[in-house]
Structure 1
Amino acid sequence: MTGTTPGPGRDDRPGPGSLLPRSALAVDPLDAAELVLGCVLEADTPDGTVGVRLVEVEAYRGRDDPASHCYRGRTARNAVMFGPAGHLYVYFVYGMHFCANVVCLVDGEPGAVLVRGGELVTDPGVARERRPTARRDADLARGPARLASLLGLDRGDDGVDLTDPSSPVRLRSGTPPDPSAVRTGPRVGVAAAGELPWRYWIDGAPGVSAYRPGGARRRRRSAGESAR
């Protein structure tokens, strides 16, 4: 992999509530995945601002990652993944759901972190209005499609700058998880790149989705289990 920079140390992340700077995200996707775990992704919706603390993420590289949307090169669909870092990459999956990624790496080198699961940190009333069918609070943002739906993200948000305070979607530093609680394992539903341990999650967090190995597609997939 070329064009990568060393990942930031835990002590380099800004204080809780601060916007994550672009420079912190211009790193290898594996480093970026560890960095954004515990951060808060917030979006301004018609119902009010909704924020979720990220408890599960997945790293995707580009040209050396067969599971990445950028593996075969740049297209109009995946252009945002080529940088600069700190932007949001949103895509439509299975003709049903949207999923969102935080773009990382240096400008021109594709890479991103899929936000897979989160826990609500803002008004539950607003969240319930957006996801009235969720049986439990833990289900509000458990899985990438549910998380995107809760935040009201769609293709119109593709390319928004998460580091800009005036942006409708922002990524803020949160309370870092205890290192002893961070787990890694294979990405959910990914077969193309083998079982690389590029999924990161906070052990015991209710918003972490169930693991499903890659393979033949099921005829029906739930909104919470859609994967890139």
Structure 2
Amino acid sequence: MTGSPDLLDLLDGPVLEVAPRLLGAVLRHGDVAVRLTEVEAYDGPNDPGSHAYRGQTRRNATMFGPPGHLYCYFTYGMHVCCNVVTGPVGTPSAVLLRAGEVVDGHDLAQERRGSSSERDLARGPARLCQALAIGLDHDGTDLAAGPVTLTPSAELATDVRTGPRVGLRGAPDRPWRFWIAGERSVSAYRPATPR
């Protein structure tokens, strides 16, 4: 990975330590930027909820690469979601970017999101990607070099809450979702629907 030592420092360490450090960081793609308010940690082979739980595939290969890259995937046959890869090469851990507040390019984000309320512009992982125009073609992007970039916050978020991940069947009770308390853009918690 090229670029800022601050970003490397932010992403260095176990995924459960890195995830809350991403809160307040700014994800930018072109003219739109989102300040992250909610994330979820996924710990590869140690986590039945992770795409990498059963090993490397073509879909999840980016998770096994160097930290600081974007892992993008298609879900529910209609949405793209994105994660920040953490940890050393070969250790597939990543942080799902669940929600954020649009802090630049509001009009363009609104155009992309249609009739969404201000609160909902980047509330939820698919909406966040839609507001930023992040697609599957951004899988593997180096977040220090772009075109999608991640800038750490000058100060770590202090009022961080944790709870179970949203809509997850594999290891649903692990408190690996992190959010900034009081932020309107944070998703509502929903357990997985029974099969």
Shorter-chain TM range is over 0.9
**Displacement after TM superposition at 1:30 (Å):** 0.9
* Number of equivalent positions: 192
Q: Which residue of 2 aligns with 1:132?
A: 114
- Report percent identity of matched pairs: 52
Q: Deviation per CA, 1:159-203, whole angstroms, max 9, x where unpaired?
A: 000022xx1100001253542x21000000112113011000011
Partner of 1:182: 160
Cα contact 1:20–1:171 (8 A) shared by 2? no
Residue of structure 2 equivalent to 1:27: 13
Partner of 2:134: 153
Q: Given the superposition, is the C-alpha separation of residues 50 and 19 from structure 1 closer, same or farther in structure 2, using an over 3 Å criterion?
A: farther
Unpaired stretches in structure 1, ≥5 consecutive residues: 1-17, 218-228
2:159 is aligned with 1:201: no
Contact 1:20 1:173 (C-alpha < 8 Å) held by counterparts: yes
- Deviation, structure 1 residue 31: 1.1
Greater than 6 Å deviation, 4+ residue runs: none
TM-score normalised by the chain length of structure 1: 0.80
C-alpha separation in 1, matches of 2:20 and 2:114: 31
Match of 2:148 in 1: 169
Aligned residue in 2 for 1:43: 29
Please say if 1:97 is aligned against 2:79.
yes
Root mean square deviation, CA, Å: 1.5
Matches within 5 A, 1:104-123: 104-123=86-105
Letter of the 1:188 counterpart: V
Q: State whether residues 39 and 176 of structure 1, in contact with CA within 8 Å, keep that contact through their aligned partners in structure 2.
A: no
1:103-156 alpha-carbon deviations (Å, 9 max, x no partner): 00111100000000000110321221211221x211100000000111111110
1:160 and 1:173 map into 2 onto residues whose CA distance is: 17
How far does residue 21 in structure 1 lie from its aligned partner after superposition?
Answer: 2.4
Q: Is the CA contact (8 Å cut-off) linking 2:21 and 2:157 kept in structure 1? A: no
**Does the CA-based 8 Å contact 1:83-1:105 persist in structure 2?**
no
Q: Give the Å deviation of 1:69.
A: 0.3
Tell me, in whole angstroms, the C-alpha distance in 1 between the residues paired with 2:37 and 2:78. Answer: 24
Structure 1 counterpart of 2:144, one-letter code: T
